[in-house]
Amino acid sequence: MSRRRGVMSMKCKEELAKELDFYDVVKSHGWGAIHSKDAGNMVKRAVEIAKEQLAKS
């Protein structure tokens, strides 16, 4: 079974985690330790950023 390829780069995910204030959890315990609410907020923010970038172009 193949692994899914991530859509967001690691740098992007780290920046979002810092912005949403849970990067300390990621740094000390890894991505598997974040709450599902934090993951959802990260995706929501990524979508907002993508919409903003599309509106500019």
Q: What is the pLDDT of residues 2-53, one digit of tens each?
A: 566 678 899 999 999 999 999 999 999 999 999 999 999 999 999 999 999 9
Helix and strand numbers (H, E) in the chain are: 3, 0
Say if CB 16 and CB 6 are below 8 A apart: no
Identify whether the C-beta of residue 42 lies closer than 8 Å to the C-beta of residue 13. Answer: yes
* Segments of 1-57 assigned E as strands: none
pLDDT value, residue 1: 47
pTM (two decimals): 0.81
Distances (CA, A) of 11 to 17, 47, 57: 10, 16, 23
